Amino acid sequence: MAQLDERKLDPAVALASLDATAPREPHRLFALKQGDCFAVADAYGDIRGAGDGFFRDDTRVLSEFRLTVGGRQTSLLGASLSQDNVLFTSNLTNLPMQSARGRDIPQGAIHIERVRLLWQDRLFERITLSNYSQDHSTIRVSLPFAADFRDMFEVRGSTRLKRGMAHAAETDATSVLLRYDGLDGLARRSAISFSQAPDQLTADRADFLIAVTRRSSKVLYVEVGPGVAETPNRDRYRAAAARARFGMRAKRRHGATVHSSGRVFNDWVERARADVALLTTELTTGPYPYAGIPWFSTAFGRDGVISALQMAVAQPGFGARRAGLPCPAPGYGDIAVQRFSAG
C-alpha cells in the first residue's frame, strides 16, 4: 500500500494513490437499456470485451470501448446510475503522467467525467476533462474500440461452428464504420463518431490531443449507432438525454402508485418502479419486462412471467399478452397479493 502524506495530498489525490495499487476486477457492472438495446460496462465506463458490451438486437456491436489518459488507465473516484436509470456517470482522475509536451502532471490534477445514455439504437457519451492544476496542459486521450458482432449466447460462452464475414473498418475525419455480414444474410454495422476529429484514427483506436487551460474544461462527445449520423455535439446529446428521460418518466407513470409515511419505504418503491421501467420494452403485444440484464435482454424465461404477475397488483395487464396469459380482471391484484405472500 502506498504511503500518503496527508499534509500534501488532497482527497482526490489520496484516492488515486490507493486505487493505483488496488485490483480492478472487483468493481461492479452497470447496465443501461432502451428499447432493444442495452449496454453493460464497469464502474470506469469501460467495455473490456468479457461479458460486457453494447448490444443491439441481441448482437454485441461494441465489444471494446476504453478510455486512457496520458497513456495510462484512469483512477476511479465513483460511479452511479441516475435515479431514473437513464444516465450512467463515472467520475475519474488521472494517475501520474506526462503531458503531450513531456511535462509531468501529478495525480489528481485532471478530473474526468463520463456520462452515458442510450436513445433510439444509439449510445451517447459525454467526456469532460477539467484541469484543476495551475498549469496549461495538452493531454493525450485515447479510446480503443472494437466490435466482434457476437450474439449474446456466444458472449455467454456458446460456441458456433461458423461465423459471418467481418469487413475492414472504414474511416473518415471524425468517424469509423465497422461492418459484419451474418450467416443469416443480415448486414450489421456499428458507426463510432466523434465531436472533433481525432489527431490519429485507426481501425481500432482514436487518439486526441486536447489542450485544457488551467481551471477550465474541455468536452468530447461520442456516439455509437447503426450508421453515421450528424457530427456529435452538445445539442444532440442534450436532446437525446431529454427525450430518454421523458420516455422513462412516461413508463413510470403507468399503473397505480404506492405512498406511505415512511421515507425509506417510499424510496424503495420508487427504486423498484424505476428498475421495472428500465426492463420494460414496448412490444406490439404491449409492455413486457425483459429478463436477465446484465447478461441477457430478452423476452424469454420465467423472470419476465413472474415480474408480469407481480406487477398485476399495480398495473393489470402488464406483460400478460406476451406471456400468453389472460389479462387480469379488476380485483386480480388482491388474488396476486395473497398468492405471492404465501411464499
Round to whole Å and give the CA distance between 242 and 235: 10
Predicted pLDDT at 15? 39
Helix (H, G, I), strand (E, B) or coil at 274: helix
Domains of the chain: 11-232 (2.70.98.40), 254-341 (no CATH)
Check whether 8 has a pLDDT greater than 50. no
Round to whole Å and give the CA distance between 101 and 97: 11
Q: Which pLDDT band holds residue 198 (cuts at 50, 70, 90)?
A: very high
Encode pLDDT of 200-230 as tens digits: 999 999 999 999 998 899 999 999 999 888 8
Round to whole Å and give the CA distance between 179 and 167: 5
Predicted pLDDT at 35? 84
Encode pLDDT of 249-275 as tens digits: 877 777 677 778 888 888 877 777 777
Q: Which pLDDT band holds residue 299 (cuts at 50, 70, 90)?
A: low
Cβ pair 126, 221 in contact under 8 A: yes
Q: In 253-331, which ranges are continuous DSSP H helix?
A: 263-279, 302-311
Encode pLDDT of 102-158 as tens digits: 889 999 999 999 999 999 999 999 999 999 988 898 999 999 999 999 988 888 788
pTM more than 0.85: no
Check whether 24 has a pLDDT greater than 90. no
Alpha carbons within 13 angstroms on the beta-carbon side of residue 339 total: 11
pLDDT-wise least confident of 58-62, 113-117, 190-194, 249-253: 249-253
Mean pLDDT of the chain: 81
Encode pLDDT of 144-183 as tens digits: 999 999 988 888 788 888 889 999 999 999 999 999 999 8
pLDDT higher at 297 or 331? 297
Round to whole Å and give the CA distance between 167 and 183: 14
